Each structure stands twice: as C-alpha cells, then as structure tokens.
Amino acid sequence: MRRSVSLAYPRGVRPSVPLAVEIAAARAVATLSRLVGAGGGTTVPGKLLSRLDPNAIDRLAARLPAGTALVSATNGKTTTTAMAAEILRPTLRLAHNAAGANLVSGVASTLLAADGAELGLFEVDEAALPQVARRVRPRVVCLGNLFRDQLDRYGELELVAERWRDAVAGLPAGARLVVNGDDPQLAGLAEAHEPVTAFGLDDPRRARPALQHAADSKYCIRCGAPYEYAAAYVGHLGDYRCPRCGHARPQLDVAARAVELHGLESAVFQLATPEGTRRVELALPGLYNVYNAVAAAAVARALGASLDEIAAGLSRFSAAFGRFERIPVEGKELILLLIKNPAGANEVVRTLVDGRPPRTVVVALNDEIADGRDVSWIWDVDFEPLLAGLDRVVATGGRAAELALRFTYGGLDEDAVEVEPDLSRAFDRGLALTPAGGELVVLPTYTAMLALQRIVAARGLARPYWERAG
Amino acid sequence: MTAIRVGHLYPDYLNIYADRGNIAVLARRAALRGHELDVTPLGLDDEIVPGAHDLYYVGGGQDREQLLVAENLAAKADPLREAVAGGAAVLAVCGGYQLLGRGYRGFHGEDMPGVGILPVETAAGDRRMIGDVLLECELEPGVRWTIAGFENHVGRTRLDPDAEPLGRVLAGFGNDGVSGFEGCRQGRVVGTYLHGPLLPRNPWLADWLLAQALAHRSGGDPPALEPLGDALERRAHAISAERARMRGGRY
C-alpha cells in the first residue's frame, strides 16, 4: 500500500496536490487499515500524509480556530488528555487522539479525521514533544511529570528533560506552559518561561512516609543536595525544598486539597483555583489520578473553561482507554490496570492495597518496544505490600519467568506463583481461581494490555479499542 | 551460619537499573544455604573500612547521579583498594563498573575520576549501546557459563592489554561494541555493563560471588555451595539469552 503511493515521485520532487486531495487519500487508507484488520487506522493515514506533504500537519493545525493544546508526561498523559477532553467537549468540537497514537503520525491522523474541529487536544510522546510542538504551534503545553520510564528507549531522564527544555524554548510567544509544580525537574524547566501555571497536590495527610525506592529527581536541580520533602506524594513528586540553596516548590495556581481515596472506587478532592474552590468526585482510583485531574483542570482553565465546567467534566469522566477497566466476565468482574514503569506500578499497588487487597492477581510482562525491552524496572516496583496479601499470582507474558523470579525473590512462596506465558491461558487460569461474584485483578504492560483487550473482544465481552476510544 | 557483610555503595544515587534486585538475589541465596546477608548502605558521609565487608556492591546511576558520587568515591580509593587486596569481593554494574576503572571522559570532554581498581578506562561515545547481551565466561578454569543481561551505556570501556575481560560477547555490544569482550574481572572483583538485573537470571554468578565473600570471611578457600533447583532462573536465562541472539546490539 505504502509503496505504490509514496514512491510514485522521484526523491526531491514534490507534486502539487491540494491539501483536500491529500486528506481524502489518507482517509481512504484509514478505512482500508481497519478493513484488513491491521488495527484502528490510528497512525497509518498520518504517516501517508507526511509522505505526501511533510508540512500538511502544520497547515491542518493552523486551520483550528481555537488552536492546539499538547499534554506530555511519562505517566498519565492519556488520562489527563481524556479528562481535559471531557471538560471541553460540551463547548468545543475537538480533534483528540483518544486511542493513544501520540507520535507526529498519530497527531496528523487525528487532525485528518477531525472534520470541523475547533480545538486540537493531543497527548504527545515524551520524545516527540519538541517536533510536534514545532509543527502545531500550541497555545498550551502541559508537562505532567518525568519519571524513569523505558530507559532503553528514551535514554536517561536528563535526556528527556533536555528535549523538553528545547521544546519550551521554541514555544510561540504567549503560549502557556502548564507544569506540575510538585516535580522539581519540571518546575525548574518552567522558570525560563512566561506565562506559567503550576499545579500540584496540597494535602500532607496523603503523603508517603518516605521517598520511594525508585524516586528519581531527588537531588536539587541547582546545587545537587538532597531535597527535603514536607510531603512526598508519588515518586519524587511533592512539596520539596533544598536545604542548601533554597530551591523549592513554586506557589501552586491549581491544587487538589482535602483528598479522600476510596480504594478502586473513587477519589474525592477540593479543586482550588484562583477563581474559587469546587468539590470533585472522580470515578477513578488513586492519588495518581488526582494528579491527572488537577493537570486536566489546569489545561482546561488555560483554554478558557470555567470552574463549573471543569468540576462537572471531571465528575462525568469514567476512564481513558485501557488504563483502568472493569469488564463483567462470567459472573465475575475483570479489573484491568495498566502498569508500565515503577512510579505508575507503585501507585497501582498502593491503590489495590488501600482498597480491598486482592487474593489473586494476574501480572503480564511483555518486552516489546512499546513495553520497554529492558524489563529491569519490575525490580524497582514496590510489589511487596501486594504480595503480602496474595494467595496466588499468575505470571504471564513473554517474560513471565522473569516476573516469577521478581515475586519469589521478593518473598512470595514458590508454590504461590504460577508461570503461564500464554496470555489467553493465564487469563482463564485467573478466572478459574476467582470465586463466583469476585474480582480478578490483571496488571498488564502495554502490549499485554492490547492483547488482553483483543482476547476479551474476541470472546464478545467488550468492543475493540478503536470503536471505544472516541 | 555465617553473616556475609555487604557494603552497598551509594544506594541512594546508584540504583537506576534495579540494583536492589541483585541484592535480593544474594540475600535469598545466602539464606537458603543458612547464611545471613548483612547489608550496610555506604553513602557520601560513610567511610570504607578495609576488612569490614566481605563483598562490595556498586550499582549504576544516571550521568548526573554518577557525577555526584564520583569524586567522593575517588577520595576513598585507598581504603577500597586495601579492602580488595585483603580479599574482599566486588560486583560493580554499569556506572559502578566505570567508576572502578581509572576514569571516565564524558561526551563534552569532562573528566570523572575513578578508583583505579580495574585496569580499564572509559570514554563516552557518540551513541548509546542499548540491547540484550549474552556472554560466555570462565571465572574458574574449565567451568564455562553463559551470562545474559541488558546493556544501556554511552561509555566505551577499553581494557589494558593484559586485563582479563569478564566474558566473550556471543551477542550484543559489550565493552565498546568492537572488541568482542565484556566487563572486566580481576581476582574477586567483577565489573560489567550487564544489568537486567544481572543476578536473578545468572544465579551461578551470584553463587560465585557468595563463595568469594565467604572465603574472605573465613580466610580460607571459597566453599562449594549446595546447589539449588533454579528451574525458574534457567527459564528466565534461556529467554534472555534468546532475546540477545535474536535482537542483541550490533555495532
């Protein structure tokens, strides 16, 4: 398909084709991609468009009357963007890459598919942010957090921070930077820019007793001394201060206060903004989702949403594609929670343990590019509080044996660990171990999650992802 | 029961590639043989006291963290060298391996001092060497093992002509992507780029290190440790080895 179209012209020769024709051609490819079962057609059309006309994405973005907002983060960018979309949808027609295609090609595909959109709202891959920002000239850029994640793909944390610094330096004049003030690295990065909105958490009762093992940016970005934390919430995110040079968390413009966590059911908090405070009841679990909600609130506010619209949108929100799902299966409930790096997995573990700790879990570890080929991160996850309450864990995926080692060396009895690399059989085994009316918790990495979605869809239990993420 | 005393150098700074997994493996495998692993974190303000520890562990860090500890460790080179001369074992992974050499020259020409225990030198290259790795090594004459792991380093480490590598690269980049060798071994000191972490899927290396540490503790020869089943470890090793063969780095 790709060959017959893109090699029709010699290198360097650019045919003059109207944008409308390019769009029609690329859209036809999206339909084909779905028909041949290659997936949702979420990236191929954008790739094709870029081959036809590398500047098409710039022109498509420039057509949006309300401009574009970008959201990047190692953790939570899909959810944050989906929450912002929920807030803004009643008042604006959106171009939103809801299925998570977050490279330049995915953004281009979304722009193509969104006829008559007024606002572009995109989650963007960490490494792709400078390029996407240069192309679409955003009004608002949100930087959510920076954790160790897929070091084999992105290199070190500092490298990502450097790319983001470049992206910020290249933003159009007047573009608003929305940053997580609780992340020292990001707050530091925002110091060179105007205007800035800082968001964060303000509830020391929800702080961890100590920094987690996998905390990343725990040394002062200015002088290298260890930060002191009045409150550490998630990983290295919190209310920090350097005892040596005084570098400290900035004043928060948008904050979550009085946070109440109700296990896997919900999180309730007071959203405090310069315009006032509203109670938000979020139908999502965990402190990490409170961070996502505050980020989304700050983004929507920067785009002109009122406090009432923000509170109503967040309360309406259910869950972003694949991050957290409850699916009824044979009189039981399947609970899918994505794990992908230590910071995120730690929060998933904390949320499970704080609620009704499961007795059985299925954990799925793949090592494809989208999962990270280096699986060492599982050893940095604090699985132990979860292991303490488990009768049985089914380790599955391409690196099931490695996962089983993580659990046995973490203190779980060898007899309590089952190794079943085949996802479908592991899923069945998990179901068989779950009592009638009970919940089966499955913690998959990214490609394992996609595979599980396909398994569930093939059994007629849920629709495929490209039909749901709309 | 013997308490094996481990000095874990800079655990707050050098921990990027799941180094605590290596410690967990040593602890459990010692416990299964009736020994206790007594781990002491040694931070910036702690001294290295020769003879006080049977095994030193130095993990990997990001450049920024590595820079924060490099000078501190270099200032402790004498007691560390004395500890090694007294028979203490060392496992140094990635950044820790670089720090045990004579030094590290960064991409922008900045120098990071090393402690000079291993006869190697490292300089930053222009692209990172990332991927699965498989080695063949012979730590004891006539005993061949394969070691499987993951590497992610921009440093190119060159061994002195008479230095002994940890192993021969079967798949992956290794020390510099061109020599065909990985790591460095000198007596009871092992330095390597392999993480993943290293020890869970290479239990024979964990046991070798424990035996060396026990020898330091007793002043005698390394004892033969009772074999463990290691069925899971072998499975994990086989998959990791296969990944290296299928998709390990090529320079």
Residue A151: closest CA among chain B residues belongs to which residue? B152
d(CA A400, CA A418): 9
Question: In B, which residues are within 8 Å of A376 by CB distance?
Answer: 17-18, 21, 150, 195-197
What integer pLDDT is reported at residue A435 of this predicted model? Answer: 94
Whether B145 has a pLDDT exceeding 90, the answer reads yes
Per-residue burial over B175-191, b if 16 or more Cβ lie within 10 Å, else e, is bbbebebbbbbbebbbb
| pLDDT single digits (tens) A364-411 | 999 999 899 999 999 999 999 999 999 999 999 999 999 999 999 999
This complex has an ipTM of: 0.96
Q: How many residues does chain B have?
A: 251
**With contact defined as beta carbons under 8 Å apart, do B117 and B100 qualify?**
yes
Residues A254 and A286 in one domain: yes
Name the residue facing B21 among A224, A379, A414 (closest C-beta).
A379
How remote is the C-alpha of A322 from its chain's centroid?
10
Residue A139 DSSP class: S
Q: Chain B closest CA to A139's CA: distance in Å?
A: 32
Interchain CB distance below 8 Å, A152 and B130: yes
A-chain residues near B132 (CB < 8 A): 373
pLDDT bracket for residue B249 (50, 70, 90): confident
Chain B residues within 8 angstroms (CB to CB) of chain A: 12-13, 15-18, 20-21, 24-25, 28, 62-65, 68, 128, 130-132, 150, 152, 195-197, 200-201, 232-233, 235-236, 239-240, 243, 247
Report the amino acid identity of residue A333: E
Domain boundary (A263, A289, A316) is at A316
Q: Do both A306 and A391 map to the same domain?
A: no
Report the SS3 class of residue A41. coil
Across the A:B interface, residue pairs with CB atoms under 8 Å apart total 91
Domain-ending residue, one of A262, A283, A316: A316
Are B3 and B36 a contacting pair, CB within 8 Å?
Answer: yes
Q: Give which of A327, A325, A326, A333 is closest to A437, Cα–Cα.
A: A333
Distance to chain B for A404, nearest Cα, Å:
7
- pLDDT digits over A270-321, tens only? 999 999 999 999 999 999 999 999 999 999 999 999 999 999 999 999 876 6
Decide: B9 and B45 in contact? Cβ < 8 Å: no
Determine the residue of chain B that is closest to A217 in CA distance: B65
Q: Does A213 touch chain B (CB under 8 A)?
A: yes
DSSP β-ladder status, A176-180 and A266-273: unpaired
State how far the Cα of B132 lies from the Cα of B240, in Å rounded to an integer. Answer: 7
Q: What is the pLDDT of residue A8?
A: 35
Are A329 and A449 in the same domain?
A: yes
Q: Chain A partners of B200 at a C-beta cutoff of 8 Å? A: 379, 402, 405-406, 409
In this complex, do A152 and B239 lie within 8 Å of one another by their Cβ atoms? Answer: no
For strands B184-186 and A392-396, give the pairing.
unpaired
Q: Do A402 and B12 touch (CB under 8 A)?
A: no
Please check whether residues A75 and A160 belong to one and the same domain: yes
> Which of A257, A281, A316 is a domain's end point?
A316
**B195 labelled catalytic:** yes
Task: Please state the φ and ψ torsions of residue A86, each to the nearest 5 degrees.
Answer: -60, -40
pLDDT at B179: 95
A162 and A29 assigned to the same domain: no
CB-CB contact of B104 with B98 (8 Å): yes
Its domain, for residue A427, covers 324-468
Nearest chain B residue to A380 by CA: give it.
Answer: B18
Q: What is the C-alpha separation between A168 and A192, in angstroms, rounded?
A: 8
Same domain? For A281 and A361 the reply is no
pLDDT at residue B196, as a whole number: 80
**Contact at CB, B243 and A367, closer than 8 angstroms:** yes
Cis peptide before B197 (omega within 30 of 0): yes
DSSP-assigned beta bridge partners for residue A419? A395
Identify whether B237 is a catalytic site residue: no
β-pairing verdict for A237-241 and A228-234: antiparallel
CATH number belonging to the domain at B3-247, selected among 1.10.1740.10, 3.40.640.10, 3.30.310.50, 3.40.50.880: 3.40.50.880
Report yes or no: A394 and A430 within 8 Å, Cβ to Cβ: yes
Residues of A in contact with B28 (CB under 8 A): 409
Sign of CA dihedral B138, B140, B142, B147: negative
Matching residue, tokens 């780029």: B193
> Which residues, 6 or more positions from A184, have their beta carbon under 8 angstroms from its beta carbon?
A217, A220, A221, A227, A236, A240, A247, A249
Is residue A452 within 8 Å of A364, Cβ to Cβ?
A: yes
* Other Cβ atoms closer than 10 A to A35: 9
* Inter-chain touch A224–B236, beta carbons under 8 Å: no
In a domain, A116, yes or no: yes
Q: CB distance A373–B62 less than 8 Å? A: no
Identify whether A6 is part of a domain.
no
Q: What digits encode the pLDDT tens for the residues B10-39? A: 998 898 878 899 999 999 999 999 999 999
B185 DSSP 8-state letter: E
Which of A230, A266, A237 is closest to A143 using CA atoms? A237
Contact yes or no for B20 and A375 at CB 8 A: no
Nearest CB to B68 within list A152, A224, A402: A224
The reply to whether A336 and A193 lie within a common domain is no
Residue A294: half-sphere exposure toward Cβ, Cα within 13 Å: 34
Q: Among residues B35, B195, B216, B237, which one is catalytic?
A: B195
Q: What is the pLDDT of residues B81-93, one digit of tens each?
A: 999 999 999 999 9
Which candidate from B13, B239, B247 shows the least CB-CB separation from A401? B239
The per-residue pLDDT for A211 is 73
Q: CA–CA separation, B37 vs B228, rounded Å?
A: 17
Q: What is the CATH number of the domain that holds A286?
A: 3.40.1190.10
Give the gap in angstroms from C-alpha A213 to the nearest C-alpha of chain B. 8
Listed by number, the residues of chain A in 323-382 with a beta carbon closer than 8 Å to a beta carbon of chain B are 367, 373-380
Task: Report yes or no: A219 at the B interface, CB cutoff 8 Å.
Answer: yes
- Which tokens sit at A193? 């820019």
pLDDT at A354: 87
Model confidence over A197-224: pLDDT tens digits? 999 999 999 998 777 766 777 889 899 8
CA distances to A11, A47, A49, A52, B240 from A5, in Å: 13, 12, 11, 9, 40
**Cα torsion A35, A37, A38, A39: sign:** positive
Q: How many domains does chain A have?
A: 3
- DSSP string over A366-377: --STTT-S-GGG
The verdict on a CB contact (< 8 Å) between A374 and B197 is: no
Q: Which of B94, B137, B184, B216 is catalytic?
A: B94
pLDDT < 70 regions, chain A: 1-19, 21, 25, 28-41, 44, 49-53, 154-155, 213-214, 320-322, 462-470
Say if residue A284 is in the same domain as residue A140.
Answer: yes
DSSP secondary structure letter of residue A197 = E
This prediction has a pTM of 0.84
Distance from CA of B161 to the nearest CA of A (A): 31
Answer yes or no: do A255 and A130 share one domain. Answer: yes
For residue B25, the chain A residues in CB contact (below 8 A) are 409
Report yes or no: A416 at the B interface, CB cutoff 8 Å. Answer: no
Q: What is the CATH number of the domain that holds A338?
A: 3.90.190.20
CB atoms within 10 A of CB A106: 24
Query: Is A204 in the same domain as A237?
Result: yes
